[in-house]
């Protein structure tokens, strides 16, 4: 199969969907790979490394003009013209954005396969997990940075000073993002509370951090009480492939003290904090109700080398299967099949159709 890897063009996005080692694996399996020149530079991979691995170089048009296109982030408007019915394997987050991209994918007959909805037999999101872990690690350190008075924050350090923990961090969610954010915040020396739905995860977190980490069941009343006392609120809610729920309301945000910080990692799926709106690495924050909001939609892009290595290791086995068998690779693998979001002009992942109000455009892939 002919495979293309375009350069990512999202703001300050340095990740790439294939390493030179991955290109070699495809070449050894008999596939041809076209990498857009410079696609790997942000992650520290030179064009010559791809050539040495058996790939060829081209411009953006050449990278997109293939049977299977591998990316990291969703196509932006300037890339819509390249969508010509090929298979596209990338993060799409269709439920968290406007209808426009979905409508383009349907109109162009793109076979859209989303990293974030692929599951294993246990229901785990294997291709989302590495980026969730990195974003969770980032959330605590970013929040700590913007809490500094010099950055417009309230001047509270997340840290242990002579045995006393300073700074209150509330993490809303109990998945991978939340677990890594909790470990990072606790490691900095903050007081950490986690709002979740699974008490067993709370016990696991205490075992990985410390017995004084607080875990409580996420109810509106409990979340509101903890928000009011927090210095940093981290949004880490995830619904598989669907839009995130607003767990933290605008009224709750208004109770935060001036100079507090919100980091909404859920923003790719629409955000779980009602006052969140997408931001970029170039313009990462805004102020609302006296609170600094950080809602960058490609957080792991800030650490492209680490992110690329973690992501491509997870994606490679599935990408190789697609290259060898096309959509037949999903037969007998229900979890892989859940990655298919659009095909033959139809939305094939129900949570996306529901989130966008496009159920009339939904059809199960088995019915096509």
Residue 182 is given by DSSP the state H
Sheet holding 214-217, edge to edge: 214-217, 191-196, 168-172, 232-235, 261-264, 291-294, 285-288
Residues 72 and 22: beta-carbon distance below 8 Å: no
Distances (CA, A) of 294 to 71, 258, 286: 25, 15, 7
Q: How many CB atoms lie within 10 A of CB 257?
A: 13
List of residues 6+ apart from 109 with CB closer than 8 A? 85, 344, 345
Helices (H), the chain: 20-28, 47-52, 60-64, 99-108, 129-146, 176-188, 199-208, 220-229, 250-254, 304-325, 334-337, 350-356
**289 noted as active-site residue:** no
* Strand pairing category for 32-36 and 87-90: unpaired
Dihedral of alpha carbons 107, 113, 119, 125, sign: negative
Which of 174, 231, 264, 268 is labelled catalytic? 268
Which of 93, 180, 226, 293 is labelled catalytic? 93
**268 noted as active-site residue:** yes
Catalytic residue IDs: 93, 268
């Amino acid at each position: 199969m002919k495979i293309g890897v375009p350069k990512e063009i999202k703001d300050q996005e340095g990740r790439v969907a294939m390493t030179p080692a991955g290109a070699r694996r495809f070449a050894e399996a008999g596939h041809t790979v076209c990498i857009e020149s410079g696609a790997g530079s942000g992650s520290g991979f030179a064009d010559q490394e791809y050539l040495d691995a058996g790939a060829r170089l081209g411009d953006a048009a050449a990278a997109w003009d293939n049977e299977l296109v591998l990316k990291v982030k969703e196509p932006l408007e300037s890339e819509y013209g390249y969508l010509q019915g090929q298979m596209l394997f990338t993060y799409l987050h269709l439920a968290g954005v406007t209808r426009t991209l979905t409508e383009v994918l349907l109109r162009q007959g793109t076979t859209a396969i989303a990293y974030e909805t692929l599951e294993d037999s246990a229901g785990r999101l294997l291709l989302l997990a590495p980026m969730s872990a990195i974003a969770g690690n980032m959330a605590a350190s970013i929040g700590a940075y913007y809490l500094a008075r010099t950055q417009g924050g309230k001047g509270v350090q997340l840290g242990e000073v002579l045995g006393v923990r300073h700074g209150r961090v509330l993490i809303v969610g109990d998945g991978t993002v939340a677990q890594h954010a909790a470990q990072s915040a606790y490691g900095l020396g903050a007081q950490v509370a986690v709002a979740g739905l699974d008490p067993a995860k709370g016990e696991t977190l205490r075992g990985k951090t410390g017995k004084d980490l607080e875990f409580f069941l996420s109810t509106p009343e409990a979340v509101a009480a903890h928000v009011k006392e927090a210095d940093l609120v981290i949004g880490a809610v995830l619904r598989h492939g669907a839009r995130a729920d607003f767990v933290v309301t605008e009224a709750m945000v208004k109770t935060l003290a001036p100079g507090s910080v919100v980091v909404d990692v859920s923003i790719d799926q629409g955000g779980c904090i009602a006052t969140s709106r997408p931001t970029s690495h170039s313009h990462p924050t805004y102020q609302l109700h006296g609170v600094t909001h950080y809602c960058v939609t490609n957080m792991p892009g800030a650490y492209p080398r680490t992110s690329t290595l973690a992501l491509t290791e997870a994606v490679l086995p599935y990408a190789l299967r697609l290259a060898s068998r096309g959509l037949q690779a999903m037969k007998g693998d229900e979890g892989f099949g859940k990655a298919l979001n659009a095909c033959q002009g139809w939305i094939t992942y129900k949570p996306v159709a529901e989130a966008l109000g496009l159920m009339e455009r939904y059809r199960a892939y088995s019915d096509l």
